[in-house]
Amino acid sequence: MEIVVCIKRVPDTAEAEVTITEDKKDIKKEGLAFEINEWDNYAVEEAVQLKEKFGGNITVVSVGSAESNDIIRRALAMGADRGILLRDEAFDGSDSYAIAKILHGAIKDIKFDLVLTGAQAGDDGCAQVGPTLAELLGIPHATLVTNIEIEDGKAKVRRELEGGLEELLEIELPALFGIQTGINEPRYVSIMGIRKARKKEIVEMGLKDIGLTGDEVGLAGSKTIIEELFIPPVGEGAEIIEGDAAEVSARLAEILKEKGVLA
């Protein structure tokens, strides 16, 4: 089974303070730790598990800067066979549509049975690239996928719906699946493993290599434009209880008692 996995390098902002740049188009990236997008990590693991079952090859593809080599190498250490880094100044400012277009440029010439992406990315949260790429490739897709079973050129996939409900679908291959977190338990990657994976090939491709022109990518090729970023207005918010652990605990216990929660 030939599998392509699309991955993205994103900043970890879960517990970091986020500030906006002067031109209001981006956040300040200095001091932030970067990692593989959480959803994509599950997609890589899913690909590796499918390869372990059916054999074949895994190609990981990422649009980004030279630093994205780090996450590609990490995926190679998990079990992928080769990497493609799509890197060109012309790609800067691409929206989800333009990113899908760039990925399409590289993937259309690869033989594949399955394309996996994360269902969304933790930075922009667009959840657009996967199904957009599927449409460009002319293949069916399903997103928010929580289980994949392959049989006779078809996939039985589970999709996560709301409120704990799931749906079971049958989809013809080749297809693209957007992977939801929790589908598997991504394996641990050691420094040693990443070092060993250095022998595997990473190909770098730019605008011309994928047969696109400058007006098809970047801001020119995007359909949506970020006008400005701003910090969301805060509501009334919580009454903050101040003090050390003993003080805040005593005060909170008092509040709970007043509110009749402590029976």
Partner 1 sequence: MSEIFVLAEHRRGELREITLEMLSGIRDLSEKMGADLTAVLLGKNVGEFAETLKNYANKILVIEDEKLENFNAEAYQRVLSALIKERNPILTVIGHSAFGMDLAPSLATELDLPLATDCIGFEYEDGKLFAIRQIYGGKVNAKVSFKGDRYMMTIRAGAFPIDKEASMGGEIISVESPLKEDIPYRRFIEYIEAPPGEVDITQADILVGVGRAIGDVENLPLVEELAEALGGVVACTRPVVDKKWLPKERQVGTSGKVVKPKLYLAIGISGAFQHLAGMKGSELIVAINKDPKAPIFNAAHYGIVDDLFKVVPVLTEKIKELKS
Task: In whole angstroms, give the CA distance from residue 140 to residue 155.
Answer: 11
What Cα–Cα distance (Å) separates residue 25 from each residue in 1, 21, 181, 225? 41, 7, 29, 10
Binder of partner 1 out of 92, 168, 196, 215 (CB under 8 A) = 168
Q: How many residues bind partner 1 (CB under 8 A)?
A: 83
Phi and psi of 68, rounded to 5°? -65, -15
Q: Which of residues 192-221 bind partner 1 (CB under 8 A)?
A: none
Question: What are residue 84's DSSP bridge partners?
Answer: 61, 203
Single out the residue of 47, 85, 102 nearest to residue 202, CA to CA: 85
Q: Which of residues 43-72 bind partner 1 (CB under 8 A)?
A: none
Please identify, using beta-carbon distances, which residue of 67 and 247 lies nearer to partner 1. 247
Residue 156 Cα to chain centre, angstroms: 22
Binder of partner 1 out of 86, 97, 197, 210 (CB under 8 A) = 97
Given a contact cutoff of 8 angstroms between Cβ atoms, the answer to whether 155 and 174 are in contact is no
Q: How far is the CB of 184 from partner 1 (least distance, A)?
A: 10
Task: Give the pairing of strands 82-86 and 57-63.
Answer: parallel
| Binding range to partner 1, per CB under 8 A, among 57-65, 107-115, 196-204, 236-244 | 236-244
Binder of partner 1 out of 54, 89, 92, 161 (CB under 8 A) = 161
Three-class DSSP category at 216: helix
Binder of partner 1 out of 44, 63, 107, 171 (CB under 8 A) = 171
Q: Which of residues 112-151 bind partner 1 (CB under 8 A)?
A: 119, 122-132, 134-136, 140-144
Binder of partner 1 out of 29, 110, 215, 248 (CB under 8 A) = 248
Does 3 interact with partner 1 (rule: CB under 8 A)?
no
Q: How far is the CB of 248 from partner 1 (least distance, A)?
A: 5
Single out the residue of 237, 31, 13 nearest to residue 125, CA to CA: 13
Please identify, using beta-carbon distances, which residue of 110 and 226 lies nearer to partner 1. 226
Task: In whole angstroms, give the CA distance from residue 3 to residue 247.
Answer: 56
Single out the residue of 198, 195, 206, 191 nearest to residue 65, CA to CA: 206
Does 246 interact with partner 1 (rule: CB under 8 A)?
yes
Please identify, using beta-carbon distances, which residue of 203 and 241 lies nearer to partner 1. 241
Does 189 interact with partner 1 (rule: CB under 8 A)?
no
Q: How far is the CB of 100 from partner 1 (least distance, A)?
A: 8
Binder of partner 1 out of 175, 210, 212, 217 (CB under 8 A) = 175
Q: How far is the CB of 80 from partner 1 (least distance, A)?
A: 21
| Binding range to partner 1, per CB under 8 A, among 48-56, 58-66, 204-212, 245-253 | 245-253
Cα angle: 99, vertex 116, 186; to 5 degrees? 115
Which residue type is seen at 210? I
Task: In whole angstroms, give the CA distance from residue 38 to residue 204.
Answer: 23
